[in-house]
Every structure is written in structure tokens, then in C-alpha cells.
Chains A and B, each alone.
Chain A
Amino acid sequence: MRRWASLLAVAAVGVCCAKGVAGEPVLPLRVLYVGNAKSPRAVDYDAFLRKHFKQATVADRERFDPTAAKGADVVLLDWSQRDTDLRKAKSPFGKLEEWSKPTVLLGSAGLLLAGQWQIIGGAG
């Protein structure tokens, strides 16, 4: 675990050395952020993702249609226990078997999905 943290720290230096000049390098990914679309946090994530990736889009989690992820390479799910009672949560992505996009689960989004999909992440 310590070795991974060190590797990531080195990578962190590499990514952060690209300063704001014309043609700043970005990673060739289309990223979709799914969260509370009108929140300041979504605006924050949108600006951040646009800075580092070829394409960034924001979608609202409450009304999310999984087919909207078709054009994305990676989906970020931002879903807090403050937004939803864990026992009443409903996966915005439908069934696990039907969800094929590489996904980053931010904060406790992993817990909320684990409760629905019965995958690792439901205890911590």
C-alpha cells in the first residue's frame, strides 16, 4: 500500500507540472460526471475535468438515463449518503449486469451502489 502511495505521488508531480500555456496537455478521454448537476460541487468538478480531459459533460443523477453514458469513456458518480437514505437508494445506472462503463465512485457513492448491486464496498 505504501508503494502504491509513493507511485501515485510521483505521478502526481508529473501531471501537475503541465502549467497553463496554450495547448496544455489533456488526457484523451471523454468523461461524464453524474451528480447534483446544479450544485456548486458539480460546477467545480466540471471545470476540473475540462482542464484535464479532452471532453467533460455533466448530467443530473436524479434523472439519469444510463444510455446517456454511451459517448463517455469514464463515468464519475457523485452520490452522497446526505442525498439519499442508503436503504431507499436506487441505482442511477440500472443493473450491474447492464452497466459496462469504467466508473469512478466518489466518496460514499461506492457504498450506495454496493447496497444495490451487492458488490464489495458495503462495509467500512
Chain B
Amino acid sequence: MPFGTPEAWKNAVSDRSVDVLPLARDGKKDRIPGWCTYTHEHEQAPELEVLCGGINYKTPQAGAVWRQGHLLHFGFDLAPSEMSNAGRALLVNAIAYVSRFTEDRPIVRTPCVFTQGTRIFDRDAIARRLQGSDEDLKALEYYLTKETYAKLKGKTRAQLVEWFKDARDYLHAGDGQGLLMDVEARSFGVPPSSPEFFPKAIAGLGDQGPARRLLGRYAPEGPGTDAKPEQWRAWWEENRKYLFFSDTGGYRWYIDPLAKRRRVPTSGLRGPARATRPPLRAVES
């Protein structure tokens, strides 16, 4: 059924209404809202799967029912008696679905701003702001370190776009106080999140340059900054198919343990493929 487009969505959705599947028995009743998550910021995580969104006061991109590993978030905050048939069926299906994920686990770890006082944004959060309104440009202050933002303040949108084109591949989270350019990575000349990073950095371990520090910074699961080049090479050969980079997970490479255990490249192990058990069949009670 059509539902009036929330005000907060109107920059992204031009239609006056959006089609929804009602999950509440009485849609007009006032109730405490549930919880939606900015899942679109974490799309690099292989163990993340978004099943549906929902009406919220933030963004149409937020996830309402989604999974990270063996944890399935059902953000609609209703008791079953408040749910429509569709709502109850969605909940039953969600329970049945997550029951299959006995091995998958959350891999990406990211701080919660409410409890850790900091939040790590994906670098394309800046790209999204650059495509937005003038108010969005002012909000760049919250994504960048004070020093980085101070250098950009007053620049035009076109100048900011040019800066971002140059800086994007070398942004990182530093100590968690905002995004900044990794000057060492920039001078090394290989984006840390690129597939070329490991071969080039490992090849550079014999030099006095920053390769060793970059490997330690961006691959904390590796053999360590004191390891010999052959140790890094062996680690890379062993793990290359199972590595993925996460911005919100700390601007670093992770090993996908499920992919490694199953000997399946992490790039091909997404969604239901990460389940362990087969789909359920109902039985007579």
C-alpha cells in the first residue's frame, strides 16, 4: 500500500509516496518507533545481509531487518499481537532464517558513538555529502579531523570535489577522531584498500620506506611489523582469497574466517551462501 514519503527522505525519493507492506495491525496507532541501522555504510562486510528496510525518519537506505553473522536484527518494535499477518510471518521467517547460520559470525567491529564516543564513517560518506545540499557540505566537519577540515573550510563545492578525488583512496580513521589523509600511504603510492597493496608493500619490505608500517597498520592480522618478507609473502599467499577491506571496521583488512574454513573466496560467499543448515520444513506439531 502507498505510504506518504517521510520528510527526511525527500532529498533521495522524489515520489510523494512509497509502497510498503504493512507489518502493524493498526497502522494509525502511536507507538514507540523501532531501530533502523545505517547498513549502507558497512556494505564491504561479507557477513552483512540486508533483508528489508522500513519507514523511518532518517534515510531510505537504512536497514530494518538485516543480519551480521549469526545475529539478525529485527528492528520493528512490535509485540506479535500488534502485528499484521505479514508482520508475524516476517518474524517467523526471520527466526527460521537465522537458525541456519550456526557458523557465521560478526567479523567487522566498529565503535558505537553512544558508548565509545566515536564513530568511523566510510569514505563515501563524504561523497554522499558532496552530492547533497549546502547544509550537507557544512556537515563535512563531523567526518574529518579538525586539522583536515580546517584546510578545507571555505572551499567551494567544486574545490571539495577535486580534493576528494585526490584524497579518497588514502583516507583513513587514524585514532578515531575523524578521517584524515594517510600521508605515508600517499607517498608510497598504492591505495591501502586496493588489491595491489599487498604485492607492492611486501615487495617494498626490503627498502627503508614505509611499507613495513603500512602493512602493520592496514593488516593487523598479518605476521607483524617485525616479520620477514618471506613470512608476509606466505601469509599473503595463504589468505589472499579470504581478505576484505572495511572502512567502517577501522580502515583495515580482515580475514573472513568462514570463507577460509570453507576454502571459498570471500568475494563469492555472501547472503544465504553463508548459512550452514538447509532451509527448514514445517512438521506436524
Which residues of A approach B to under 8 Å, CB–CB? 1, 4-5, 8-9, 11-16, 18, 23-29, 31, 40-41, 44-45, 47-48, 52-54, 73-74, 76, 80, 82, 86-87, 89, 96, 100-111, 113-124
Tell yes or no: B89 within 8 A of A by CB. yes
List the B side residues contacting A122 at CB < 8 Å.
Answer: 110-115, 119
Q: Are A120 and B42 in contact (CB under 8 A)?
A: yes
* Beta-carbon contact of A87 and B114 below 8 Å: yes
Query: Is chain A's interface secondary structure helix, strand, loop, or mixed overall?
Result: mixed
Which A residues are in CB contact (< 8 Å) with B79? 40-41, 44-45
Residue of B nearest to A118 (CB): B109
Complexed CA–CA distance, A114 and B81 (Å): 27
* Chain B contact patch, size range: 35 or more
13 pairs, A vs B, C-beta closer than 8 Å = A12-B85, A12-B90, A15-B93, A16-B89, A25-B284, A44-B79, A54-B283, A86-B114, A103-B70, A103-B98, A108-B35, A116-B115, A123-B112
Q: Is the CB of B285 within 8 A of A26?
A: yes
Contact A29-B99, Cβ < 8 Å, known A107-B35, A110-B35 = yes
Docked-complex contact B88 and A16, CB < 8 angstroms: yes
Cβ of A13: which chain B residues have Cβ within 8 Å of it? Answer: 89
Q: Which of B77-122 contact A (CB under 8 A)?
A: 77, 79-81, 85-86, 88-96, 98-102, 106, 108-116, 119
Residues of B near A119 (CB, < 8 A) are: 68, 71, 106, 108-110
Q: Indicate whether B282 reaches chain A with its CB closer than 8 angstroms.
A: yes
